[in-house]
Amino acid sequence: MFTYPLQKTALLLVDPFNDFLSEGGKMWPYTKETVEGVGLIKNLSALVWAVRTKNIQIIYTPHHHTQTGDYLKWKFLAPSHEGSRTTMLFEKNSWGAEFHPELIAKEGDIIAQNHWTASGFANTDLDFLLKQHGIEYIVVAGMRANTCIDSTARYGVELGYHVTLISDGIAAFNWEEIKATVETNFPNYGHRLLTTGEFIKTINQ
């Protein structure tokens, strides 16, 4: 049975912001159905608790906190980020850019540099931090399934990491986005696809 070398494993918690995960968040009208449908907060909370009890490193991989005009002059902005030109998602110093209250970083957790578009690796220190801590296995969960999650997981594989995706530890704007990530995209490049319960059982065996 596959086992994770705990000291070489890290949980990447991607964009667990109020704007995505909390009622009143700017994206909540779009994410509510899948966040509640998969039990995302419950699952992420269980995942975080379990990895902390095993001293597995948690690394938050947050999106850029926007300020007025940040994206206005971007020449080639991805279609999924076009709204960033005018919509202040994860606005700097706002409640929406804070982590969900049940997913707050604690002492010993690491917060990587903020990514500007989808991948938690592109133009950040995430790869450096993982290498500095001897991490070879990354477990990816958070938001949003077909953008930041898919891009971060795929980039991790390209950089040589063993990548696990938590299938019920992600949500999106609709079920089709999750289905595309879990059933089509990740199985074609990733290493392990597990539920929250399956991963917790694996690290507790």
Among 92, 85, 94, smallest CA distance to 24 is for 94
What's the confidence (pLDDT) of residue 75? 76
pLDDT of residue 32: 98
pLDDT value at residue 80: 61
Rounded-to-integer distance, Cα 205 and Cα 200, Å: 9
Answering whether pTM is above 0.85, one says yes
Query: pLDDT tens-digit profile of 117-146?
Result: 899 999 999 999 999 999 999 999 999 999
Report residues of the chain scoring pLDDT below 50. Answer: none
| Cα–Cα dist 159/136, whole Å | 10
Q: Which domains does the chain have, with CATH numbers?
A: 6-204 (3.40.50.850)
Question: How much is the pLDDT for 89?
Answer: 86
**DSSP states along 133-149:** TT--EEEEEES-IIIII
The pLDDT, as a whole number, for residue 85 is 59
Position 49 scores a pLDDT of 98
